């Protein structure tokens, strides 16, 4: 059974690599890089799909990169595991010269971390404690600005999201 599961995952990986390379090749004639969000339930192959992009660098939040090393041939140096919004901002500012694609895996974790750090830094129990909409506006602007910097890079950018997010 495990052998069949590995064969299935390998075939899925090969298909996804073919699909994204074909997609990227079709867009190569465009003057702009691809910027996309891939949204789906956990385990459907979002990360595997993104691993097929040209020279990807993964900014990971969920620790699933080891799977990509096992099944997609990704190298440990082609990713950075983050555990906070502050770490993600540092990684966003790094040099991506050796990569054509930047993958953020998972987008929703970064927002939750930003929310928690904002509340902690401002000694709030909840982001709404600043008054109607004020905390959400400030936080939204900060997250938006950081992602805009990433999206402005002359690279392909793939943002991965879960279809269902469970809060701990």
Q: Give 47-102 pLDDT, tens digit per residue.
A: 888 888 889 999 999 877 777 776 677 788 898 999 999 999 999 999 999 999 99
What is the rounded CA–CA span in Å between residue 126 and residue 129?
6
What is the rounded CA–CA span in Å between residue 36 and residue 19?
15
Query: Which tokens sit at 61?
Result: 């939040």
**pLDDT, position 168:** 55
Confidence of residue 163 (pLDDT cuts 50, 70, 90): confident
Bridge pairing between strands 101-105 and 56-60: parallel
- Of the chain, the percentage scoring pLDDT greater than 70 comes to 77
**pLDDT, position 9:** 44
Global confidence as pTM: 0.78
Kind plus residue range of the DSSP H or E element containing 40: strand 35-40
What is the rounded CA–CA span in Å between residue 59 and residue 82?
7
């Amino acid at each position: 059974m495990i052998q069949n599961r590995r064969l299935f995952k390998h075939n899925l990986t090969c298909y996804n690599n073919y699909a994204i390379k074909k997609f990227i090749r079709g867009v190569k004639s465009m003057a702009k890089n691809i910027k996309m969000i891939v949204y789906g339930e956990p385990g459907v192959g979002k990360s595997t799909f993104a691993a097929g992009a040209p020279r990807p660098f993964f900014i990971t939040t969920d620790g699933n990169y080891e799977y990509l090393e096992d099944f997609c041939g990704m190298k440990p140096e082609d990713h950075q595991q983050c555990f906070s919004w502050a770490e993600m901002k540092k990684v966003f500012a790094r040099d991506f010269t050796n990569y054509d694609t930047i993958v953020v895996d998972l987008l929703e974790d970064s927002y939750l971390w930003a929310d928690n750090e904002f509340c902690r830094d401002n000694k709030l129990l909840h982001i709404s404690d600043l008054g109607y909409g004020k905390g959400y506006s400030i936080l939204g602007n900060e997250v938006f600005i950081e992602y805009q910097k990433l999206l402005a890079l002359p690279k392909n950018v793939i943002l991965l999201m879960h279809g269902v997010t469970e809060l701990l």
